[in-house]
Amino acid sequence: MLVMDNLNTHKPSSLYKAFNPEEARRIIKKLEIHYTPKHGSWLDIAEIELNVMTRQCLSRRIPDIETLREELSAWESERNNSYALVNWQFRTSDARIKLASLYPKL
């Protein structure tokens, strides 16, 4: 099972560009592909959470696997208890501030 977003390169036909036809077909037959919704997908939210986890929990050396499991479990509990939300609204005025280098001065 493979979950993919809706980029134009994320299509089974792309495998034919990377592999010979027989190999591409063999790979495609093994896949059960599920595409995420085009806007505000749960995959985007998962990527955001992985980024937050990396910055908050994994940004240092962790000595062993057991400590890693404990740290991740504590981080997960804290994150779940905080009811973190994703706000998908991004207004033009916000974009002009956050992406000032891309917008001309008005």
pLDDT tens digits for range 43-58: 778 888 899 999 998 9
pLDDT higher than 80, residue 96: no
Residue type at 105? K
CB 36 within 8 A of CB 7: no
Query: Does residue 61 carry a pLDDT above 80?
Result: yes
Give the residue with greater pLDDT, 26 vs 14. Answer: 26
Determine the pLDDT at residue 8.
65
pLDDT of residue 81: 92
Where would I find the beta strands (DSSP E) of 1-106? Answer: 2-4, 33-35
**Cβ atoms of residues 24 and 15 within 8 Å:** yes
d(CA 72, CA 50): 11
Of 24-28, 78-82, 93-97, the one with minimum mean pLDDT is 93-97
pTM of the entire structure? 0.47
Which tops the pLDDT comparison, 39 or 101?
101
